[in-house]
Amino acid sequence: MTGRIIGTGSYVPEQVVTNEDLAKIVDTTDEWIVTRTGIHERRIAVHEGTSEMAAKAARRALEDAGMEAGELDIILLATSSPDNCFPNGACEVQAAIGAKNAVAFDISAACSGFEFALSTVQAFLQAGIYKTALIIGVDCLSKLTDWNDRSTCVLFGDGAGAAVLRAEETGVIHSVMGSDGTKGPVLSCSARTGGNFLNGKRPELGFIYMDGQEVFKFAVKKVPECIQQVLKESGTDIDEVKYFVLHQANYRICESVAKRLKQPLDKVPMNIGSYGNTSGATVPILLDELNRQGKLERGDKIVMAGFGGGLTWGAALVEW
C-alpha cells in the first residue's frame, strides 16, 4: 500500500499586486524583478488568513477527489505562517470543512512543507494506520514581509494548494526529506521572541530575513541532488519522469535544476510569473494547475521537489 493522489485543489487571493505596484513603495523596477526572478505579479490576502485560504483549497481538492470531508482520517497542513500559535491551522481547516473523523496537525518546514507533509502521510498510509489523507501547503507570507525591504518583499505571494490521498497499490513510489539546521540563519523569520514578566519586555514580531545568494547556491545544488536520490533509490530512470514540479522561488533556480539534471525545460512547468513564491503552496498550486489542465494521465510519473527555510529540502516520485 502507498498513498495515491486522487484529487487536487488550490486557492489564491483575488488581489493582484504587480511589480509596478511595488515600485511605488520600494526602490525597484519591473525589469529588475522579472529578469532576476521571473515574477510579474503576485496575489496578496487582504481580508483572509492562512486557514481560510487552506480551507478553500481543501474543499476544491475534496470535490476533485469526489470525497466527503467526513471520510478523511488525517489532515496535515504545512505552513510557516499560521494564523495562531494554537489552535493549529489543520484543526481550523478540520472545523471549516467538517472533517469530524480526522486527526489534524501542522507541519513546519517552510517552502519544503508540502513535500514533508506528503512524505509523512505516505508513511501512515503505507503502514496501514490511515486510509485517507488531506495535505495542504499554505502560506500567507505577506504578513511576515517587511514591505520596506526591497530584497525580499518583491519575491513572495500568498496562496494555498491541497491534495487528497487514498491508500492504494500505486501512487507515491518513493520520497526523501532532509534538513540542515546549521544553515538556518540564511533564511529566517523570528516570531514573538524575547518577552516575559521577568525581563519586562514585550514579545517582538520579526520579519523575513534572507541571504538570497546563499539560498540560491543551496537550492541549485540540493534540489538536483535530492531528485537524483529519489530516482536512484527507487530504481527509476530520469527519462521516465514526465514533469518535475519544483518549488517556485525563482525561474533561474528552475532553469538551473533542469540543466543540472540534463532535462529539457518543458518538463519543468512554472507559474512563478503569476503568483511569486507562495512558499509551502507553490508545488500543490502548480500540481493542481497541471491536473486541471488535463496534463496528468494515469500512470504518468512526476517528481515534486521543494527547498526552503530550516534549511529543509524534499522530493517525491509519484505515479499519477
Contacting residues toward ligand COA, per CB under 6 A: 28, 32-33, 36-37, 111, 150-151, 154, 187, 210, 212-213, 215-216, 219, 249-250, 253, 277, 308
Look up residue 200 and give its three cell numbers: 519586562
Number of residue whose CB is nearest ligand COA = 212
From 19, 88, 250, 277, the catalytic residue? 277
Look up residue 83 and give its three cell numbers: 494564523
| 91 catalytic residue (yes or no) | no
| 277 catalytic residue (yes or no) | yes
**CA-CA distance, 15 to 157, in Å (whole number)?**
10
Shortest distance (Å) from residue 246 CB to ligand COA:
11
| 196 catalytic residue (yes or no) | no
Q: How far is CA 187 from the centre of its chain?
A: 16
Report the chain's terminal Cα–Cα distance, integer Å: 15
Q: Residue 243: left (phi > 0), alpha (psi -120 to 50), or beta?
A: beta
Query: Which CB sits closer to ligand COA, 30 or 168?
Result: 30
Query: Which CB sits closer to ligand COA, 178 or 212?
Result: 212
Query: Which CB sits closer to ligand COA, 124 or 251?
Result: 251
Q: Give Cβ neighbours of residue 197 (< 8 Å, ≥ 6 apart).
A: none
**CA-CA distance, 120 to 123, in Å (whole number)?**
5
Query: Which CB sits closer to ligand COA, 171 or 276?
Result: 276
Look up residue 24 and give its three cell numbers: 511605488
From 111, 153, 189, 226, the catalytic residue? 111
From 189, 226, 247, 291, the catalytic residue? 247
User: Any idea which residue has 508545488 for its cell?
Assistant: 283
**CA-CA distance, 227 to 310, in Å (whole number)?**
19
The three-class DSSP label of residue 105 is: strand
Look up residue 234 and give its three cell numbers: 527507487
Backbone angles phi, psi at 157, to 5 degrees: -145, 175
Shortest distance (Å) from residue 270 CB to ligand COA:
13
The three-class DSSP label of residue 160 is: strand
What are the DSSP E strand ranges found in the chain?
A: 2-11, 16-18, 41-43, 74-78, 103-107, 132-140, 158-168, 172-179, 187-188, 209-210, 241-246, 301-308, 312-319
Query: Which CB sits closer to ligand COA, 17 or 219?
Result: 219
Query: Which CB sits closer to ligand COA, 10 or 112?
Result: 112
User: Which sequence positions are flagged as catalytic?
Assistant: 111, 247, 277
